[in-house]
Structure 1
């Protein structure tokens, strides 16, 4: 068996890392050099990449996204490898960081301001965290059922923020919330992997010294999107290579 199906959100898709997968939906932000493509090349696997920027656990399991079928529909039971990076959009992790990086007067703009205030509200983020754990477990169970002969790997999120200290333009309060979301997502992903008999690739732990503010970043900092450049607060090419190496090691072990 050589079939490899890659599932997940933008952290797996790699928006802005050139080149884009030919023929893929532009909103998916699917890079031909995301970790799935690098893993497939390294292991000689036939890749089916259905990663899609903005995806939630519901898009993996049951919901369509911009006309794309639920991602699990790509599984046919013949897979040797399945990877999934998901959960951040359920809790508003990167959206929260984007909102926090905007000038504070923006929070007073009608409608937009209320959305931003909601994203940076710790109480609302904590409620979302309480809900995502069960969703991640359901992802693991479903992948094990739909791909019973495959190695199924949860791949958690690369570290975006410095472990401590400033992360301009974020305030200390907002950076602290962002770090909490990241660490809880790691914990819940690990818990889901253990509960469902899936493997775990600890990209977050491996990238502690490679956050976006470090001398050797694997992710990008806050900023405005620039065409043909890695998306802000997302993996860069070096980060995708690093995650690919971790996945290859896990799949080969």
Structure 2
């Protein structure tokens, strides 16, 4: 008897760039780890995993757009799935790119061409405009997954908490930028929950569960700002412990 099918969709927060070992058959640009939460969930539940998570993915890459020649992620669904998970929306809102921009030296904001993009990422009004569009996109993701995988448990998995609470420093990020990051993260968490509720999907509250495990905590589930290092978890992304924690939550909520 063959195992039930599990399709995992989403961006780098699900793919797990830099967490060893890399999934050998995946495109290098995907940043897909063989120890990300989809792989851990599949092993725990004995499911047949199809992991199409891809670093840099947006809701459009889940729904309709090719990414680096790879078809839209929903094309992996064939209607026989027992479980579908999706972690998406942060790239639409510019969440982690904003935090990277915040960590760069301030003079970088004056560099021609690059500086304009950095200033846009750090502009609260621009982030609010991006977030205003994310909610509808997440609802469309939920509707599409429910339609394409009618027999599956469909779970939105929100983002692990990256930033500390107010009053706790997050060097080298400045407090004003951290406050903006918290606002973006809180809005993404709320929009994800709303989309799940509107579309009959479940939600795994990784953000809530990881409040005390932010990147500047004593036992972090995510990594701090820094420069990428080969074979190490990507900056401002989940680490191996964070992936294990999310996997346990998904298993608890799964089929």
Alpha-carbon offset, residue 27 of structure 1 = 0.4
Matches within 5 A, 1:1-253: 2-164=4-166, 165-252=168-255
Secondary structure in 1 aligned to 2:82? Answer: strand
Partners of 1:35 and 1:78 lie apart in 2 by 21
Partners of 2:30 and 2:211 lie apart in 1 by 27
Partners of 1:23 and 1:152 lie apart in 2 by 25
Alpha-carbon offset, residue 22 of structure 1 = 1.0
Secondary structure in 2 aligned to 1:107? Answer: helix
Secondary structure in 2 aligned to 1:30? Answer: coil
Alpha-carbon offset, residue 228 of structure 1 = 0.2
Structure 1 unaligned blocks of 5 or more: none
Secondary structure in 2 aligned to 1:113? Answer: helix
Partners of 1:139 and 1:212 lie apart in 2 by 28
Structure 2 unaligned blocks of 5 or more: none
Secondary structure in 1 aligned to 2:155? Answer: strand
Q: TM-score, normalised by structure 1?
A: 0.99
Alpha-carbon offset, residue 166 of structure 1 = 1.3
Superposition RMSD on alpha carbons, in Å? 0.6
Partners of 1:162 and 1:171 lie apart in 2 by 12
Secondary structure in 2 aligned to 1:83? Answer: strand
Q: TM-score, normalised by structure 2?
A: 0.98
